[in-house]
Amino acid sequence: MKDILTAPFITEMRETTANMYRQGWDERNGGNISYLLEEKEVAEYLDLNKVIRTIPTGFDASGLIGKIFIVTGTGKYFKNVDKDPETNLGIVRIAKDGTTAELLWGYKDGGKFTSEFPAHMMSHMARLKVDPEHRVVMHSHPTYTIAMNTVCSTDEKEFTHKLWQSNTECIVVFPDGVGVLPCMVCGTNEIGEATAEKMKKFRLVVWTNHGIYGTGKTMDEAFGLIETVEKTAQIYMLSLGHVVNVIPDEILKGLADLWGLTPLEGVLKV
């Protein structure tokens, strides 16, 4: 067996969590990531027949039976992942009963996956139906995104429009727009179900007064989506109350046409 600490998926988790912490997106134990892994890749580093222990999922994850994920741990700080990945991360496989996860590696202090595990797994199930190449769900608390969310309507088309109008990159990076949920109790199946419903249409979902979920085929894609929203939210908040120029809808449509993209319906007024 190869040393698991040299596995590319471990390296990605170490680097990404450290970067997100440096960005100020994941204070204390805020934020979580889950990453769907290929069984044959994991088998190079772990004996897949060796289950350390089982952990209840708290919901029916039958749509993911046999799938293997690396997931950040509950109560764990992103700043500590790089120096101690085996405590702060875990590799789990959804068991045949669909309501249990088999721990294959990690959480060595007896911990378990993030409290947002249901929201992550439900989002994975929703995104895989839309995009079979989907792999990553990433949740964080970006400062300006939350700030913008507090001064804007929770109408997702309006929120998307404000982002598109503030930065020409936005309509190119997320022509599908941004979903928005009202303020809800986090860590519950209810918010997981609501997020998954949005994920049928969006790769990005804002949780009002809380943060954002981003998804993608790769860690870079999920990170890049959140990064683009956060940079643009910063622009929006810095210019709030003093806006003279916004990107006209004609230009936004021109950008979409140039890149062969289909913008979220009902946002542009052209």
The alpha carbon of 8 is separated from its chain's Cα centroid by a whole number of angstroms, namely 19
Contact 120, 32 (CB under 8 A): yes
DSSP type of residue 267: S
Q: How many helices (H) and strands (E) does the chain have?
A: 10, 9
Is residue 61 within 8 Å of 121, Cβ to Cβ?
yes
Distance from C-alpha of 222 to C-alpha of 219, rounded to nearest angstrom? 5
Angstrom CA distances, 169 to 2, 3, 136, 162, 166, stand at 41, 40, 22, 13, 9
Pick the catalytic residue: 39, 41, 86, 116?
Answer: 116
Token pair in block for residue 111:
């911990």
**Residue 116 a catalytic site member:** yes
Which residues are catalytic, by number?
116
